Structure 1
Amino acid sequence: MVWGSRSVRSVGIAALVIGACFLLQALLAQSYGDKASSSTANPGSTYNFRFGPGNISAPGNARMENGGFVEPGAFPTAEYCGYCHQEAYAQWRQALHSNSFRTPFYRASVNILMRTKGIEYTRHCDSCHNPIGVLSGALTQDSKIDRKFDEDGLTCTICHSIQKLQSTLGNGGFVMGIPAVMVDENGNRIAGEVPYNEIVDHPERHAKAVMKDIYKTPEFCASCHKANLPNPLNEYKWIRAFTSFDEWQNSKFSERNPLTFYSAKLTTCQNCHMMREPAVLHDSGAKNGTLASHRWPAGNTAVPFYYGFDQQLQKTIDFLKSGKYLNVDLVAIKKSDSDNLIAPLGSVPFQLSRNQKIEAMVVIQNKNIGHSLIPEVRDLYEAWVEFTVKDATGREIVHSGFLKPDGTLEPRAHSFTNRPVNSDGNFVDNHKVWTIHSMAYDNSIQAGRSALVRYQFTVPQDAQGPLTVTARVNYRHFRQSYLNNVFGPDHPAYPVIELASKTRTLMIGDNPVVAADPQDNPDWMRWNNLGIGYLDQLQYADAVHAFREVVKLRPDYSDGYINIGLTYIEWEKYSEARASLEKGLALSRDNARALYYLAIVERRAGNSEAELTDLTKVVAAYPQSRDARRELGVYYYQQHQPEEAIKQFEALQAIDPDDVAAHYNLAILYKRMGLKEKASEQAALFATKQIDPGAPTYSLDFLRNHPEISNESVPWHMHTDAAPPAAVAGEH
């Protein structure tokens, strides 16, 4: 695929457009309020308040400080801001934020919602994708509002006018002030586009208008990078959509959760997605020649590919291919005639024969992503394992995870996606999220965890050694079937990016120990990641074995012992867990992770005083630990101390307003304390957020009708039919 010729054309046109905009803005922006004389709007008495009087954004959460509407023209344009911030403007124009509404991918899905249920329902999506449309009152039947702002999606003054956040509700959980680039001498926001010389003369007043400390927090990103499907949208019940923020908060990078498998320094969303880079164009916000990236590089290759934004596309590809985020390990094999695990590969000698059935184990470690792989709209994106075995002649013995001639992914591939299902037991296509009733499976890899993927094949009798075994993780923004739904079958092939890979050579005959690749994890970590994979697949005995290998290699590694204790707890062998947890504590005094799990053991043993002591220490060290707050609340509940229990569950809700255990327990506790209104509110929240007991039946119907992918719903499963593409006939 060649992007170079298109790149020259795109850059040339962009330069002319930017230059013209700057000249025009310089001429026009010489007086206050060129675009709007009023910051408030009234779309008229015909506005459809379907979801409650005065609630202009429901089923979304976006709102103005004054609770009303805002004139679209009250938002200074991005071109206006670009006069002084040329680099930020140029980056923004190619970034996802500026194209959040207009892309054919988003429009395809949101238009179905509009046609199916009505334009007022699109406020749920557009609270993040098009806040000006929502807050101006444009999203109602027969609106006369000029919607030219649709082309700019999230402009500078949308993000930079947000004054506070609504906890971490998501779905546009922000509160916006009067759009302004200046405040007056009394700190009052000045609406509209002020003359540039005013900004130059009073940069501190400009900064006060457009910068707030919350902009540098992950909670700021959570206002849109966390979403749910509320009852008013689906007329069913509350369903979690995606939780990038929650995943980060539970990861090692937040330093808020003591239960992670590994530790790391605090890293926020902005640290990864707004890294400083050289400012090519003039930008008044640059410091020492660098600017916090307003490209927000992440995983979307489809939008820049569609628009010909070659700089954005290349930056995104470079980001994805940096090699920092995933680790692929061909960690072990097992021969069918033996129960012995040959691991870690490369570090132990073994023999391999022809006509021998082999189980190969691949571990994919989510090493340095602060959220899951894949974090959002998993039903549309594709990330999968491509696994190949070739002999010395180049003949493919195994090929799993290939793309078929029509561009679709082989259905038996191991993918890190999900399959949402509607009430008819059918896959929810075209991102019709309001029809989701169940999740057939979700194979995403959470931050800091490892997925174990197994392949079984037979070494052919006529195979020419050595065998070359390769496992790679590929990624494509939008599955082929969705691209076909949007464009029809006749469209260019969208980029497929290799995120990480590993190749090993297996000799037919003797396989000696080989030198480790510098990019490989050390052997103790390879065992640790294998243990994590076993644990997530509920293979407890194998997990204990793997973690015991860890402490053999690293007897000083406290988490190795803690992992053994954790496995026994999940295995419900609480007494067996104690010795390992105490060993971990002996190596790492007051280790919060060990104390938390030991508290669970103490509870089972009836040692309530020790349980309280341990949990209190954990909460003191990690006050934003959801798990510790929840378990401490349970402790006080069981000890008949309602006031203390309420404190813990309320603290838990401040961390996660959607925690079902908090809703349930507070409903009971408030009622006992005579707080009937609060109790009713919590009971209602619990009723809509708890899992529908009938939902799994929809998934079972789907899985019965799709045996080619039903294995993906089983924690432990084997890929046994990984035939080369030539042996696969048609679509399943």
Structure 2
Amino acid sequence: MRRGVLLAVLCGSVGLAVGSSFSMTRVAWAAEDGKKAVAKASDDKAVTAKTTAADAAVESAARKAYADKIRATYQFISAGTAEAVYGEGKLSLPGNASIEGNDFIQPSAFPTAEYCGHCHKAAYAQWRQALHSNSFRTPFYRHSVDLLRDEKGIAYTRHCDSCHNPIGVVSGALNPHSTVDRSFDGDGVTCMVCHSIQKVDSKLGNGSYVMGVPAVMVDANGKRITGMVPDAEILAHLDWHSNAVMQKSYQSTEFCSACHKANMPVMMNQYKWIRLFSTYDEWQGSKYSKENPLVFYQADYATCQGCHMKREPISLPDPGAKKGLLASHRWLAGNTAVPFYYGYDEQLKRTEEFLQTGNYLNVDLFGMKVNDAPLVAPLGSVAFTLPPKPTIETYVVIQSKAIGHSLIPEVRDLYEAWVSFKVSDATGKMVYESGYLRTDGTLDPGVHSFTNRPVNSAGEFVDDHKVWTIHSVAYDNTIQSGRSTLVRYRFEVPEGVVWPIMIKAAVEYRHLRQTYLNNVLGPKHPAYPVVEIASRTRTISLGENAVTPARANDNPEWMRWNNVGIGLMDELQYADAATAFEQVVKLRPTYKDGWVNVGLNEIEWEKYADARAPLEKALELAPKDARALYYMALVERRNGNSVAEIADLQEVVRQYPRARDALRELGISYYQGHRPEDAVATFKRLQGVDPDDLTAHYNLAILYRRLGMKAEARLESEEYAMKWIDPAAPTYSLDYLRKHPELSNESVPWHVHAETRAMGSGAGEP
């Protein structure tokens, strides 16, 4: 038999015989049959012989015996009652992980990362320092998941560990009665976790994968061979190895969606369903998916792997490399805390370089209002005169330029990304500052941070990432992919300043939030790295300021106006946004999206009649343009022209069959047009993309009832009631903001930053 297979499958990590209903004698007979079958096989069919029916029976029996023992005391979670039950059930609830055979499997069935590293030395070295290998053991994760374990019980940690510790979930180790050897904890998401996954469901998240029984080889007939096959056999049949561990789906964004999407089910919080994050959905709505016609800018198709697994030269041997290049198994992103904590200097260096050199953001010191005079903009493109002792309000525009998800994605309550805004005079003396670190390492209270503030039912910030206690979100300053945000700063330039002054705006980043670091590590710990992702400086003189040349990374003038228009529109400043978009079409009269933006702003302003002319202009420039047609359909609906409305939306869906907004609006159009069958079909298509869409649940509940489909109507009504926002939730947010007036400014879309550290004040220090 192949090396170590019988020992692994017969022993596992928990004794086989105790509590097993399967006879050891029968296992011994099956094992003997397997040995005889292998002995009779010819040498040139050695690998194929190892997959005889008898051999498979041995492994199946061993797994069944192991699973029977685990199941006897396993605490299942019931989706219906949220109570612990014993007996049959989905092994991963409240997570969504599943495995081939729908039963527990021995941890020893997973070949170790070290085993894979025999040959894949480069991939192994990268993986060891990456987040996947440290997904469970890091104290930053363990702090919050241990709180969950202590408060609700270890069974509920399967919600998190379906992604952070999959072997622990499918082996049944996350159980109050478990005696499973958990030495696998230190390896988190190992090679054979990802490379055993056979299927994912991009609509669910929370570990929505189907894992196959781990296999590093298939035989000549394509049948999977489990266990740790000797290296020599793999090297002799590399194609068989590749067929076992590689699938086309591994290169897709949908593959990553299994874990990079999460919700809080009712069985976890005994409250209601809450979306926690959805990096996949954000990507699907971005310009990189090519599935959404409503994006502000276009780009080539790109997957998660295209950004986070770029091919790079190898310094260690690895047969997975092609022409000396290997898809990076560092998964570079934004986590600087874990490599800093473990001393992974190379991973930390590469992560910082990734953040600094990706051209992900554009920072634009766009304009100024001096003493409440009209806006001077764009800075650098227009000359202006600055009077003595001015009060200046500066417009800083942050563009999410090359990110396929939000800034910040996922657990944004733990990350810190903020705008550092500094004004200094010619001697370097600080005139004004916002977004500085205080002496205790925390951010100043008036900072503009790209974060959110989840709140519990007591109106308190969920500081320890106890996500099962979240009832509301006080504010969320995230920048979605492809959009821009406008941040305003007002300050006075006092007497004694040595001119000229220099204004610098930067986006800085730290993983993790200082108060969370303190919660995990205690108040005394090293300062964690702060990375400047992007910045822009401008020098302003007293008196005359001439036009200055643009820098290499500056956006063209039309785009600067476009970005500030997007920011103003998102802040509900429609009149100013209209002015900005008018400048765009003045500078680029043939730019169809400029005209669409003019029309979109009018629609947001609820001036539908005024939106028609710019949208018609866009369609003259680009007939059948899906973005223009979508917004024109909304204008036609308001005008009562349902035929044109439906025709426009049908064309959008034809071009973009997975466009959520277009499917939603087309379903509404069919509903209002008394076409119930078409409405049902369209809303079901929408649920095929997003099963959590509230509009689909609401309308299907009504439509099904009218069609006499009472059971389906009841199901949709229940889904809607569960996922609809709690009407009391804003009360929890208001309670929090009343208690923290220093943060309430951030909940106002058009807020201005004014109260912070000024020259000589020292204000803001704790």
Query: Please, what TM-score do these two structures have when normalized by structure 1?
Result: 0.95
Q: Is 1:220–2:247 an aligned residue pair?
A: no
Residue 47 (structure 1) aligned with residue 81 (structure 2): no
| 1:460-497, Cα deviation, whole Å (9 max, x unpaired) | 13222101000000000011111111111111110000
Asked if structure 1 preserves the Cα contact closer than 8 Å seen for 2:93 and 2:158, the reply is yes
SS in 1 for 2:8: coil
Match of 2:737 in 1: 703
Match of residue 132 from structure 2: 97
Aligned to 1:356: 390
For 2:278, the equivalent position in structure 1 comes to 243
Distance 2:350 2:107 in 1: 32
8 Å contact kept, 2:166–2:193: yes
User: Could you tell me whether the CA contact under 8 Å between 1:276 and 1:293 is conserved in 2?
Assistant: yes
1:270 aligns with 2:297: no
State yes or no: 1:208 paired with 2:208: no
1:684 shift after superposition: 1.3
The corresponding residue for 1:123 is 158
Give the paired residue count. 704
Cα distance between partner residues in 2 of 1:414 and 1:663: 36
Give me the whole-angstrom Cα distance separating, in 2, the residues matched to 1:524 and 1:285: 45
1:533 and 2:506 matched: no
Say if 1:421 and 1:699, in contact at 8 Å, map to a contact too. Answer: yes
Conserved in 1, the CA contact under 8 Å of 2:297 and 2:482?
Answer: yes
* Preserved contact between residue 392 and residue 492 of structure 2 (Cα < 8 Å): yes
Counterpart residue type for residue 101 of structure 2: N
**Other-structure match for 1:475:** 509
Aligned to 1:148: 183
**CA–CA distance in 2 between the matches of 1:528 and 1:426?**
38
User: What are the residue-to-residue correspondences of 1:294-305 with 2, within 5 Å?
Assistant: 294-305=329-340
Q: Deviations for 1:313-369, whole angstroms, at most 9, x for unmatched residues?
A: 11101100004100000000012242x210000000101122221110000000000
| CA distance, structure 2, for counterparts of residue 201 and residue 674 of structure 1 | 62
- In structure 2, relative to structure 1, the CA distance for the partners of 1:31 and 1:487 (3 Å cut) is closer
Cα displacement (A) at 1:599? 0.2
Deviates further, 209-218 or 361-370? 209-218
Whether the 8 Å CA contact 1:317–1:497 is kept in 2: the answer is yes
Read off the aligned partner of 2:638 and give its amino acid letter: R
Match of 1:5 in 2: none
Percent of aligned pairs with the same amino acid: 62
Q: Closer, same or farther in 2 for the Cα pair 1:727/1:346, shift >3 Å?
A: same
Structure 1 window deviating more from structure 2 (680-689 vs 101-110): it is: 680-689
Contact 1:96 1:303 in 2 (8 A): yes
Distance 1:86 1:710 in 2: 51
Deviation at 1:642, TM superposition (A): 1.4
Shift of 1:459: 1.7
**Distance change (3 Å), C-alpha of 1:517 and 1:153:** same
Residue 31 of structure 1: CA displacement?
5.3
CA distance in 1, matches of 2:203, 2:218: 28
In structure 2, C-alpha distance between the alignment counterparts of 1:337 and 1:265, rounded to whole Å: 42
Q: Distance in 1 between matches of 2:663 and 2:760?
A: 55
Inter-CA distance 88–602: structure 2 relative to 1 (3 Å threshold): same
Choose from 396, 413, 433 the match for 2:430: 396
Residues 409-448 of structure 1 mapped to structure 2, 5 A cutoff: 409-448=443-482
Structure 1 residue 678: Cα displacement: 2.2
Change (3 A) 1:63 1:439: same
The equivalent position to 2:197 in structure 1, one of 144, 150, 162, is 162
Alignment-derived partner of residue 571 in structure 1: 605
**Aligned twin of 2:265:** 230
Give the match for residue 22 of structure 1: none
Q: CA deviation at 1:213?
A: 1.5
Indicate whether 1:509 and 2:509 are aligned: no
The answer to whether the 8 Å contact 2:363/2:506 transfers is yes
Q: What amino acid does structure 1 have at the position aligned with 2:191?
A: C
Is 1:70 the counterpart of 2:105? The answer is: yes
Structure 2 Cα separation of the partners of residues 268 and 163 of structure 1 = 19
Question: How many angstroms does 1:392 deviate by?
Answer: 1.1
| C-alpha distance after superposition, 1:132-183 (max 9, x if no partner) | 1111111111201000000000001101111111242100000111111112
Alignment of 1:177 with 2:150, yes or no, is no
Contact in 1 for aligned 2:201/2:254 (Cα 8 Å):
no
Question: Do the aligned residues in 2 keep the contact of 1:380 with 1:479 (CA within 8 Å)?
Answer: yes
Partner-residue secondary structure (3-state), 2:94: coil
User: Does 2:366 correspond to 1:366?
Assistant: no
Deviation at 1:593, TM superposition (A): 0.3
Question: For 1:247 and 1:336, how far apart are their aligned partners in 2?
Answer: 40
- Determine if contact 1:393/1:464 at 8 Å carries over to the other structure: yes
1:247-286 CA-to-partner distances (Å, cap 9, x unmatched) read 1110111110000000000011000000000111111111
Give the counterpart of 2:752 among 708, 713, 718: 718
Deviation at 1:427, TM superposition (A): 0.3
Q: 1:99 to 1:726 in 2, by over 3 A?
A: farther
- Which residue of 1 is the match for residue 8 of structure 2? 35
* Contact 2:503–2:538 (8 Å) recurs in 1: yes
Read off the aligned partner of 2:686 and give its amino acid letter.
Answer: L
2:720 is matched with which residue: 686, 705, 714? Answer: 686
Task: Quote the offset at 1:68 in angstroms.
Answer: 1.1
Q: Structure 1 residues 233 and 726, CA, compared in 2 at 3 Å: closer, same or farther?
A: farther
Counterpart residue identity of residue 458, structure 2: D
Cα pair 2:77 2:94 within 8 Å, conserved: no
Distance 1:636 1:216 in 2: 37
Q: Distance in 1 between matches of 2:131 and 2:646?
A: 48
What SS does the aligned partner of 1:254 have? coil
* Superimposed CA distance per residue, residues 185-205 of structure 1 (whole angstroms, 9 cap, x where no aligned partner): 332222111111221222222
- Separation in structure 1 between the aligned mates of residue 230 and residue 709 of structure 2, nearest angstrom: 54
The residue type equivalent to 2:542 in the other structure is: I
CA distance in 1, matches of 2:372, 2:434: 24
Match of 1:134 in 2: 169
**Long gaps (5+) in structure 2:** 11-58, 80-87
For 1:683, the aligned partner's letter is S
CA distance, structure 1, for counterparts of residue 739 and residue 763 of structure 2: 19
CA contact (8 A) 1:381 1:477 kept: yes
Q: Tell me: CA distance 1:510–1:730, structure 2 relative to 1, closer, same or farther (3 Å).
A: closer
The whole-number CA distance in structure 1 between the counterparts of 2:647 and 2:315 is 56
Q: How big is each residue's C-alpha offset from its partner over 1:639-688, in whole Å with a ceiling of 9 and x where there is no partner?
A: 11111111111111111121111111122222222332222222111111
Equivalent AA in structure 1 for residue 308 of structure 2: H
Greater C-alpha radius of gyration: 2
- Where 1:209 maps in the other structure, the secondary structure is helix
Runs of 4+ with >6 A deviation: none
Aligned to 2:639: 605
Kindly provide the CA deviation profile for residues 560-596 of structure 1, in whole angstroms up to 9, marking residues without a partner as x. Answer: 1100100000110000000000011111111100000
After superposition, the Cα gap between the structure-2 partners of 1:86 and 1:701, relative to the gap in structure 1 and judged at 3 Å, is same
> Are the counterparts in 1 of residues 445 and 764 from structure 2 also a CA contact under 8 Å?
no
How many Å separate the matches in 2 of 1:33 and 1:666? 53
Counterparts in 2 of 1:221 and 1:33: CA distance versus 1, 3 Å: farther
Query: In 1, distance between residues paired with 2:708 and 2:257?
Result: 34
Cα displacement string for residues 420-449 of structure 1 (whole angstroms, at most 9, x for unaligned residues): 000000000110000000000000100000
State the shift of 1:502 in Å: 0.3
1:517 partner letter: R
Query: Gapped runs of 5+ residues in structure 1?
Result: 1-27
* Aligned: 1:498 with 2:532: yes
* 1:34 Cα deviation after fit: 5.5
